[in-house]
């Protein structure tokens, strides 16, 4: 393609001439228009659709504050804790940057959990948005890895012992577990080598992967178009100009709506940073203000709140619980055989896998299966596009009792999160086990319950009531 540069009037503004010069050499205006300026989005977005842009804002906050923290942080076991104290006490505005970063970590997960909830309620993972959802699950996994690697860096008591417990979990994997734990730590115990490699992953490796996934997530989203609360494809109804009749340009309409959401978020975020940065020990644990001591174990070790639902599933997997898990797998295989129209080969494969897993549960200990369930509890989200067999996308047009299914799942998830920060007792373990069954039942039984009931008619056009 030949090089073409637009001819502008001699009295054109300098900014227009500069933009024209850039556009002739790099598609800056085209990228802006394709990805936002002239990207038509459904006109019936509600408050749930603010959390995607807020996630981008928090990502920027984390990157910027992280850069300033790295300028003063020392990734050395003898200096790490003191360098954090130096940032808090001696670096000008260092306390603010550190609190913005620590609060931003929790804010990131709050926003992402709400963003995922919106996708769950409105079926944003359904065709043709499967790849968007898979990129989103990849982003969530990267966030968990980023938070885990960053958790050790302050080198406080909870950082040290939390990392020790989590890394030791990999030792439960048969055959390769001990060597894998040793490889992750870089030593036989959590030490300076562990701190250095965690620092490298937290600052360089994971952020690069995360940014790539975010870019892929956005490109895939703008390729197929955004979902909406009605679950209707607005691209199916185009106007004479070739744009969706029920769509509006993202700029300026959603630009200003997102700016309003940003203002509300920053007000809450600032209040937490200035008045409750520890958030009662949930955002910053009190034990983490004590230097790491390999000779003194804290009485109760628990991960940060955003890991606790999955940590509860790990702790709920006891030797007694294994019997119920085996029974559940057998019942699920029977359900697949009796209540599906799958080919006989697939049913046979499901039965073989079920028998193998049940036998393996009798061979390997509960600790290993706790690690497996903890990992599967995250990865199972990636299967949602193929588990949901509902004839409609949005919860608006599903049977009313479906809302109670979602509510029970949400309550079970919150209960698991709460129990994860509490010391284990027999009663709490029992509740965790029940909630674990509810959590997995929600996903594994979805092919059946999602297609049951009387569905409401879906309108041909989006429902929108202007203010």
Question: How is residue 146 written in tokens?
Answer: 């980023």
Does position 467 have pLDDT exceeding 70, yes or no?
no
Is pLDDT at 322 greater than 80 in this prediction?
Answer: yes
Tell whether 300 is in a known binding site. Answer: no
Kindly indicate the confidence band of residue 125, based on its pLDDT and cuts at 50, 70 and 90: very high
DSSP, res 48: G
Beta bridge partners, 248, equal 41
11 pLDDT tier (thresholds 50, 70, 90): confident
User: What is the rounded CA–CA span in Å between residue 241 and residue 412?
Assistant: 48
CA distance 227 to 8: 39
For tokens 């697949």, what's the residue?
Answer: 336
Q: What percent of the chain has pLDDT over 70?
A: 99
Helices (H) and strands (E) in the chain, counts: 19, 2
User: Looking at domain 27-301, which of 1.20.810.10, 2.130.10.10, 1.10.3720.10, 3.40.50.300 is its CATH number?
Assistant: 1.20.810.10
Q: What is the pLDDT of residues 182-213, one digit of tens each?
A: 998 988 889 999 999 999 999 999 999 999 99
The pLDDT tens digits for 61-106 are 999 999 999 999 999 999 999 999 999 999 999 999 999 999 999 9
pLDDT for res 328: 94
Q: Which of 381, 412, 406, 405 is closest to 316 using CA atoms?
A: 412
Instruction: For the chain, give the mean pLDDT.
Output: 92
Flag whether 467 is marked binding. Answer: no
**Looking at domain 304-451, does it have CATH number 3.30.2130.30?**
no
Are domains 27-301 and 304-451 of this chain identical in fold? yes
Chain centroid to Cα 193, Å, comes to 28
- Report phi then psi at 26, rounded to 5: -155, 135
Strands in 9-53 per DSSP E: 40-42
What percent of the chain is predicted at pLDDT more than 90?
Answer: 72
Under the banding of pLDDT at 50, 70 and 90, the label for residue 1 is: low
Among the residue ranges 141-145, 172-176, 177-181, 280-284, the one predicted with the least confidence is 172-176
Tell me whether residue 217 is annotated as binding.
yes
Would the annotation count 115 as a binding residue? yes
202 appears as a binding residue in the annotation: yes
Spatial distance between the Cα atoms of 394 and 118, rounded to a whole number of angstroms: 10
Confidence at 30, pLDDT banded by 50, 70, 90:
confident
Mean pLDDT to the nearest integer, 267-289: 93
Domains of the chain: which residue ranges? 27-301, 304-451
The model carries a pTM of 0.94
């Amino acid at each position: 393609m030949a090089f073409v540069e637009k001819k502008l009037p001699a009295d054109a503004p300098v900014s227009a001439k500069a933009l024209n010069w850039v556009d002739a050499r790099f598609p800056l205006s085209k990228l802006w228009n394709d990805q936002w300026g002239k990207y038509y989005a459904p006109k019936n977005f509600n408050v749930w659709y603010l959390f995607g842009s807020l996630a981008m804002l928090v990502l920027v906050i984390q990157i910027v504050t992280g850069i300033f923290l790295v300028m003063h942080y020392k990734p050395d076991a003898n200096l790490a804790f003191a360098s954090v104290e130096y940032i808090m006490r001696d670096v000008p505005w260092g306390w603010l940057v550190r609190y913005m970063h620590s609060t931003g970590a929790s804010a990131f997960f709050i926003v992402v959990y709400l963003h995922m909830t919106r996708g769950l309620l409105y079926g944003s993972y359904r065709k043709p948005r499967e790849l968007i959802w898979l990129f989103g699950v990849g982003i969530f996994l990267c966030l968990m890895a980023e938070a885990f690697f960053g958790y050790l860096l302050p080198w406080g008591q909870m950082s040290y012992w939390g990392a020790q417990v989590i890394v030791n979990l990999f030792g439960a994997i048969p055959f390769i577990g001990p060597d894998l734990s040793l490889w992750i730590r870089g030593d036989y115990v959590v030490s300076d080598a562990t701190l250095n490699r965690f620092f490298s992953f937290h600052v360089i490796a994971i952020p690069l992967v995360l940014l790539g996934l975010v870019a892929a997530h956005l490109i895939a989203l703008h390729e197929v178009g955004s979902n909406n609360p009605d679950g209707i494809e607005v691209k199916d109804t185009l106007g004479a100009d070739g744009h969706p009749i029920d769509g509006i340009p993202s700029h300026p309409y959603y630009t200003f709506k997102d700016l309003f959401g940003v203002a509300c978020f920053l007000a809450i975020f600032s209040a937490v940073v200035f008045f409750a940065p520890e958030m009662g020990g949930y955002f910053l644990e009190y034990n983490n203000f004590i230097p790491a001591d390999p000779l003194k174990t804290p009485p109760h070790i628990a991960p940060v709140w955003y890991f606790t639902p999955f940590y509860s599933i790990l702790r709920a997997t006891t030797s007694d619980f294994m019997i119920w898990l085996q029974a559940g797998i057998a019942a699920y295989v029977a359900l697949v055989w009796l209540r599906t129209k799958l080919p006989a080969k697939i049913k046979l494969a499901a039965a073989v896998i079920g028998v193998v897993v049940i036998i393996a549960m009798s061979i390997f200990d509960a600790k290993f299966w706790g690690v497996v369930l903890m990992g599967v509890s995250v990865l199972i989200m990636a299967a949602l596009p193929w588990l949901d067999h509902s004839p409609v996308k949005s919860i608006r047009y599903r049977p009313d009792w479906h809302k109670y299914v979602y509510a029970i799942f949400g309550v079970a998830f919150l209960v698991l999160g709460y129990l994860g920060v509490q010391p284990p007792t027999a009663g709490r373990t029992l509740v965790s086990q029940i909630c674990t069954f509810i959590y997995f039942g929600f996903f594994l039984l979805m092919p059946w319950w999602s297609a049951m009931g009387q569905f409401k008619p879906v309108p041909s056009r989006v429902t929108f009531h202007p203010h």
